[in-house]
Amino acid sequence: MMTKSKSSQDPSHPMDDFPVRALDFDVSHVAPEDCAWSKSSPYFSVFINALGLHVPYFERYLIHTMNTVKHDVADDKLRRDMVALAGQEGHHARNFIAFNALMAKRYPKVEKLDATAKNYFKSAAKKDSVKRKVAFTAGYETFTFLAGLIILKNYDKWMADSHPVMKALWVWHQVEEVEHGSVAHDVYRALYGKHEWYRKYMVLMAGLHIARETVKAYVHMARIEGWLKNPLKAIGAMGFCFKTLGQMAWQTLPVFSKNYNPRNHPLASSKQDPVAIAWRRHDAKGGNVLDIDRDAMAQIMQL
């Protein structure tokens, strides 16, 4: 079990004044045959690869949406958060598009899945109404926020022994998804707060989209990894996929409360995650966060 950092609380809430970190992860250090990059849980690594395959193009859709409505938001702090959100997501998209290109060398269908996701969100950005853009973005960010919380909570089980670049990439991504987890929700509430039913509806639509795209990519990747040839491995692989999606779905239940606020979600409003606390502190001090092996993470947690 990982040793927790010395302080269990940050001096400020992670969703307040979060920074934009211009980080570039060198995924060329990952061999295509190592796309199942976690020895702690190969199923997890392929699951998160599958889930993340279409995410960069949603992130571009999000940036477009934030830029579209930025001047309609009256609150100065929220506008600053929108700019920071777009900044974080821009760096996420760039890094994960590079990783998609690497995965395409391992998984034959990834190139087509990548192109389909790109075209879907490019088309949606043109044809969706402004209200739908804001609502879908808020709904989708509900799941990336919850995924961040769930993944960091399961760090020891899913990521402790894994490729140092991929571990670093995904820890960074999950930390930042939690940091900006309330922004899209707050934007929807600011612009369309009276239409609460539509917010909830779009949470469902976003969740179904994520689940569909994840399962489609995961089945292909699991087949290439050879897991579907063996009945026991197939049960384990597909069981992990559906169990994790179910865990995400279960954690959305508080989202359907009329007074829901991401800051008050049970996973977020209990004690802050020790991995996220330590990672933010290490990054703020200028420490290396671009590749993190076991020893480096142990040192980060002790700072």
SS3 readout for the chain: CCCCCCCCCCCCCCCCCCCCCCCCCCHHHCCHHHCCCECCCHHHHHHHHHHHCCHHHHHHHHHHHHHHHHHHCCCHHHHHHHHHHHHHHHHHHHHHHHHHHHHCCCCCCHHHHHHHHHHHHHHHHHHCCHHHHHHHHHHHHHHHHHHHHHHHHCHHHHCCCECHHHHHHHHHHHHHHHHCCCHHHHHHHHHHCCCHHHHHHHHHHHHHHHHHHHHHHHHHHHHHCCCCCCHHHHHHHHHHHHHHHHHHHHCCHHHHCCCCCHHHCHHHHCCCCHHHHHHHHHHHCCCCCCCCCHHHHHHHHHC
Determine the pLDDT at residue 273. 87
The torsion angles phi and psi of 38, rounded to 5 degrees, stand at -105, 120
**pLDDT tens track for 247-290:** 999 999 999 998 899 998 988 865 678 999 999 999 999 999 99
Q: CA–CA separation, 208 vs 89, rounded Å?
A: 22
Q: What integer is the mean pLDDT of 90-106? A: 97
Least trusted range by pLDDT, from 5-9, 32-36, 207-211, 295-299: 5-9
Confidence of residue 5 (pLDDT cuts 50, 70, 90): very low
Q: Is the pLDDT reported for residue 57 higher than 60?
A: yes
**Which amino acid belongs to residue 193?**
G
Determine the pLDDT at residue 303. 66
Determine the pLDDT at residue 97. 97
Determine the pLDDT at residue 272. 75
Determine the pLDDT at residue 12. 65
Percent of the chain whose pLDDT exceeds 70: 95
**pLDDT tens track for 124-143:** 999 999 999 999 999 999 99
Domain regions of the chain by residue span = 42-302
Determine the pLDDT at residue 284. 93
**pLDDT tens track for 112-122:** 999 999 999 99
Q: Is the pLDDT reported for residue 1 higher than 60?
A: no
Determine the pLDDT at residue 175. 96
Percent of the chain whose pLDDT exceeds 90: 89
Determine the pLDDT at residue 271. 65
Q: Is the pLDDT reported for residue 110 higher than 60?
A: yes
Q: Is the pLDDT reported for residue 10 higher than 80?
A: no
Q: CA–CA separation, 133 vs 66, rounded Å?
A: 9
Determine the pLDDT at residue 180. 95
pTM for the model stands at 0.93
**pLDDT tens track for 164-221:** 999 999 999 999 999 999 999 999 999 999 999 999 999 999 999 999 999 999 999 9
Q: Is the pLDDT reported for residue 144 higher than 50?
A: yes
